[in-house]
Amino acid sequence: MSGGEAPLMERGVLAMDEGDALMLTRVHKKPGFVTVRRHGPRTVNVGKYSSVPDIGAAPIDEPAAWFLGPRAENSEVLTTLTKDVLEHIGAYRRGYLPEDPIIITPEMQATSSYTTAVAEMSTSFKEVLGYFAERATPFFSLRYQAHMTGDNPMPALAGYFLGMLHNPNNVTIQASTTTTLLELLAMRDLCHMVGWSTENDDQAWSHITADGSIANNEAVWTAREVKFLPFAIVKALQKEPSLAGAKDVEVTLTSGTKKRLDQTTNWERFNIRRDEILALPGRMAAKLGKQPYEVWSVVVNYDVNAVGVWGMLDAFEGLGGAPTLFTPSTRHYSWPKAAAVNGFGTERDVTMMVDADGRMSIDELTKGLDTALSKKIPVLLVVAVNGSTEESAIDDLTKILAVREDYRKKGLEFDIHVDAAWGGYFMTVVRKDFGSVVTPADLENPFIEDTRKVPMSDYSIEQFKAVREVDSVTIDPHKSGYIQYTAGSILYRNKEVLNLVTFTGAYIGAATEPTVGMFGLEGSKAGATAASVFFAHRCIRPSERGYGRILTFALQNTRRLYTDLLFLSRPEDSFVCTPLPRIPAERSGASAAEQEKQLAFIKETIWGKTIEEIEANPEALALFRELGPDQNILDYGFNPRVDGKVNTDPEAYNQLMQGVYDAFHIHYDKEGLADNIHNYKLLLSYTIFKRHEYGDAFMDTFAKRLGLEGRPEELYCLRSVIMDPYALNLNSAFTQQLVDILRDKVNELARRTSRSASPSA
Ligand SMILES: *Cc1c(COP(=O)(O)O)cnc(C)c1O
C-alpha cells in the first residue's frame, strides 16, 4: 500500500516557535510569534495577545476561602462570585455595540403569555431543584467517604460559570478568543509543576482532555505514531523525490552506534529512542535546506494514521509479534480500551501482577521484557500508575526507569507513561512554589528539601520527583485537582509528537494562530473547563502553598482514619478490622514482637492525636508519614469474630463485607430512583480483589492478614477516598461519631453473619 500518492487525510503541520503557544503554519514560519512573559503585575502577553490574566500573579493563601464547605459556610462568597459573573454577562452584552436594536422588547415582556411562561419555568425548575435536594449525593460531606469525588474549589466553579455563560469552544481560537489562551497558560502551569520547561520545540506540551480515559488513549496513539515513524520515514525516503537529499540520514541506536536509518533492521527500527525519532525530520530538513514542517508534512503520510496498521505489516517481518503495552494489573480499564482502539488489541495490553502493596511487580516486568527481547516483540509503552483507582498505590517509577536503562543496553527501547490521572496533583505537596514564568534554574530542583512534615512516605515522594523523566503523563484536574467534571489532561515531555497527531479539517481555521484544539481526539472542547482550571490555579497554585495544602490535609485525614481503623475493634466487638496497607514494621518483615511494639507506639503517639501533637514528636511524625496507603484511598476489611475466634472462612468474610457495603451505599428502586439521601448517615464504596488480576502475593498476604484460610479467588474490600480538604482534627468529636456509626453497624451485621455461618446455629 502506498500512502504517499493518495494521502488519506489533510494534515496541518505545526511549527513551534521559541514561545509556548503553537502556531499552525502551512506556508511559513513567523519567528517570535508567541512568547509568554510578565507584562505588568497581573497580566502576561501570549503572542500578539497582550494583557492575558497572569496565572501566577494572584494566589490566595487562605484555605478557609477555597471551598464552599460542607455546611455551605462560604455561600456568601460563592454568591458574590456568581453574581459578578451574571452582572458581567449583562454588561458585556449591553456594552457590545450599544446602538444595536433590542429584540426582546419591554412590550413583549409585559404580555401575559410572557409572564406565564417565566412563572412556569420557575415552577418547573423548583421541581427539578427538589429532585436534587432529595437525591443528590453529598460529595462535600464528611459523611461521604466513598468515590473519588469531593468538594470543588470556588474559583473552579466561578471560572467555569464565567466560561459557560460565554460558551467558547476551544476547538479553534476563532471560537474561543478568551479560553484558548487560558488553556495554554493552565497547561503550561501543569508542565511546570511536573518540572518540565515549555520554552522550546523539543520541550513539554500539555492540553486539556475530556478525561483521563481520553488522555490515556492519546498517549497510546502518539506512542504508536512515534514507534512506527522510522518505518514511515524509510518509506518516504524511498518514494519521495523531494527527500532524496536526506537518504543517508543516520540514527543513533540505543547501543550508541550510528547507522544509516534505511540500513537498520526492523528490530533496530523499533528500538530507537523517542527523542532521537522525533529529531529525525528536523535533521533531514537541515540536510535538505528545508523547514522541519516541510519534512513532517511528507513523512506523516506514511505513518499508521495514514496507512493503518495494515499498511505497516512489513514492519513485523522477522519479529515475534506486534507491539505490546505493559501495565500493572491495578490499571484503569481505559488501558485495554486504548490498546483496542489503537489497533493493537486488548491482548497486547499485558498486565503485570502487583506486590502486597498493590504496586507493579518489577520482577514480573523484567520477565515480560526478557520475553519481549528474546522473541523480538517490540514494546510500545510501559505504564507506571501513580495513584491506582482502587487503592491509590504508586508504582515504583524509579525502578522502572532503571530497568529501562538496563534494557536499552540490550537493545530494547520503550516509552514510559505515568498514569497519574488520580494522583497527579499530589505532587504539589512537595513542589516548590512557582509563578507563571519559570527559568531553567527554577526547574533544576523543583522540589522542596525539608519533607519532615509532608504526610507522604519517602518512597512516594521519590516517585513524584521521577515523573519528569518519562515521556508522557496523564493528570486529571477533575480527580485530585478537585475541579468539577470534566477536566483531564495529557502531558508530553517532547512536544514534537504533536506533529504526528494533527488532523485539520477546513473548518479549523486559518494559519498562525495559537491553538489547542487540534492535537487531540476530541472536536468541540468546553472553553469553560479551561477557564475553570485557569482560575483555580490562579487562586490555588499547584504547589506547596496551594494544592499542596489541600492535599496535605487529605493525606493527614487519611492517615488519621487509618489509625482509627487499626484500633476500631475493641475486645468486646464481634469483628476485627484489617486495613489493606500494612504498618511499616510489617511491610519491612520485622518480627511479630517488633510489629506489636510499633502498633503500641502508634496507639500512644498518633491515634486520636491532633496534627500539632504528632508534629511535636519527631519520632511519631516520622512514622506518621509512612502510615497508610501511598495516597488517600484507603481499603479495609471486616472479619467476624465469634467467641474471641476470628472467622477463617472467606465466604463468611465476603458476606459480612457485602452487608456492610449494603448499609452504606445508595440503593435504587426498580424504577431506577435513588433512595432518599437523607437516610444515609455514612457513605462508603467497595471493590473486589480477584486473584487472576492481582496475583498470589497480593491475595495471599491480604487473606492471611484478615485471618482467612485457604486461597480465596475473591476478596471484597471497603474503599474510602478521603478527600476532605480541611484539618479534621478540629472536628474530632464528629469524626468519632462517624467511626461509632461504622463500628455499631459492623457489630450488628457480624453477629448475624457469624450466627448463620456457625454450624451450631
Ligand atoms: C480515573 C482514572 C482514569 C480514567 O480517568 P477518567 O477521567 O475517569 O476517564 C485513568 N487512570 C487512573 C489511574 C484513574 O484513577
Give 151's pLDDT tier (boundaries 50, 70, 90). very high
Residue 4 clears pLDDT 60, i.e. is over it: no
Nearest CA to ligand 1 atom 12: 421
Look up residue 676 and give its three cell numbers: 432518599
Is the pLDDT at 449 greater than 70? The verdict is yes
What is the reported pLDDT for 172? Answer: 86
* CATH node for 187-221+324-539: 3.40.640.10
Contact (Cβ atoms closer than 8 angstroms) between residue 235 and residue 357: no
Rounded to 10°, the helix 154-166/75-95 angle is 20
Note whether 339 and 325 are within 8 A (CB): yes
Ligand 1 pocket mutation, candidates 208, 216, 332, 484, criterion most atoms within 8 A of CB = 332
Beta strands in 285-432 (DSSP E): 324-328, 349-352, 379-385, 415-420
Q: At residue 195, what is the residue type?
A: G
CA–centroid distance, 721 to ligand 1, in Å, is: 14
Of 218, 425, 476, 491, the one to substitute when testing ligand 1's pocket (max ligand atoms within 8 A of C-beta) is 476
**Contact criterion met (CB below 8 Å) for 732 and 562:** no
Confidence (pLDDT) at 7: 33
* 690-740 confidence digits (pLDDT tens): 999 999 999 999 999 999 999 999 999 999 999 999 887 655 778 888 899
Q: Are 182 and 51 in contact (CB under 8 A)?
A: no
pLDDT of residue 440: 87
Q: Which three cell numbers stand for residue 307?
A: 496507512
> Closest ligand 1 atom, CA of 389?
15
- Residue ranges of E strands in 166-323: 205-209, 250-252, 258-260
SS3 state at 178 = coil
Distances (CA, A) of 53 to 66, 339, 436, 667: 20, 40, 10, 46
Which pTM was predicted? 0.93
* Ligand 1 centre distance from Cα of residue 421 (Å): 5
CA dist list (Å): 523 to 8, 183, 209, 496, 498: 19, 15, 10, 21, 16
**Do residues 45 and 35 make contact, with C-beta atoms less than 8 angstroms apart?**
yes
Q: What is the distance in A from the centroid of ligand 1 to the CA of 178?
A: 28
The number of the ligand 1 atom at minimal distance from the alpha carbon of 386 is 13
For atom 4 of ligand 1, the residue with the nearest CA is 212
Spatial distance between the Cα atoms of 38 and 31, rounded to a whole number of angstroms: 20
Q: Cα of 417 to ligand 1 centre, how many Å?
A: 14
10 Å CB burial of residue 691 (0-12, 13-18, 19+) is: middle
Of 299, 272, 271, the closest CA to residue 285 belongs to: 299
| Ligand 1 atom with least separation from CA of 216 | 10
Q: Which atom of ligand 1 is nearest to the CA of 388?
A: 13
Asked if residues 626 and 454 have their Cβ atoms less than 8 Å apart, the reply is: no
Sign, CA dihedral 702-704-708-712, equals positive
Q: Which atom of ligand 1 is nearest to the CA of 478?
A: 7
Per-residue pLDDT reduced to its tens digit, 203-230: 999 999 999 999 999 999 999 999 999 9
Rounded CA-CA distance 473/494 in Å is 11
The rounded Å distance from CA 387 to ligand 1 centre is 10
Q: Which residue has the cell 511499616?
A: 584
Q: How far is the CA of 494 from the centre of ligand 1 (A)?
A: 23
Residue 566 and residue 574: Cα distance in Å, rounded?
A: 15
Atom number in ligand 1 closest to CA 476: 7
pLDDT, averaged across the chain: 90
Q: What's the pLDDT at 10?
A: 35
Q: Map residue 607 onto helix, strand or coil.
A: coil
Atom from ligand 1 closest to the CA of residue 420 = 13
**pLDDT digit string (tens) for 596-626?**
999 999 999 999 899 999 999 999 999 999 9
Q: Tell me the CA–centroid distance for residue 213 and ligand 1, in Å.
A: 6
Q: Are 228 and 309 in contact (CB under 8 A)?
A: no
| Number of other residues whose CB lies within 10 A of the CB of residue 296 | 25
Atom nearest to 331 CA in ligand 1: 13
Closest by Cα among 498, 502, 514, 499 to 294: 499
Say which DSSP state 645 is in: E
Give the tens place of pLDDT for each residue, 360-392: 999 999 999 999 999 999 999 999 999 999 999
- 68: CA distance to ligand 1 center in Å? 25
Helix (H) or strand (E) holding 234: helix 212-239
Residues in CB range of 107: below 8 A, 6 or more apart:
none
Nearest residue to 719 (alpha-carbon basis) of 627, 630, 632, 633: 633
Beta pairing partners, 67: 153
DSSP E strands: which ranges in 691-739? 714-721
Across the range 414-428, mean pLDDT stands at 98
Residue nearest to atom 3 of ligand 1 (CA): 212
- What distance in Å separates the CA atoms of residue 238 and residue 5, rounded to the nearest whole number? 13
Beta strand segments in 277-345, E: 324-328
The residue whose C-alpha atom lies closest to atom 8 belonging to ligand 1 is: 212
Residue 42 confidence (pLDDT): 67
Residue 473 Cα to ligand 1 middle (Å) = 12
Give the whole-angstrom CA distance, residue 178 versus residue 299: 34
Q: Give residue ranges with CB within 6 A of ligand 1.
A: 211-213, 216, 332, 334, 385, 387-389, 419, 421-422, 476, 479, 488
Q: Which helix (H) or strand (E) holds 559?
A: helix 547-566
CA-proximal residue: ligand 1, atom 2 (nearest): 421
Question: What element of type H or E holds 443?
Answer: helix 440-444
In this predicted structure, what is the pLDDT of residue 654? 97
Distance 5 CA to ligand 1 centre (A): 40
**Ligand 1 mean position, distance from CA 333 (Å):** 8
Please give the pLDDT value at position 38: 31
Pocket-testing residue among 149, 351, 389, 533, ligand 1, by greatest number of atoms within 8 A of Cβ: 389
Residue 176 per-residue DSSP state: -
Helix (H, G, I), strand (E, B) or coil at 86: helix
Domain boundaries, the chain: 187-221+324-539, 222-316, 547-581+628-757
- State yes or no: pLDDT of 393 exceeds 90: yes
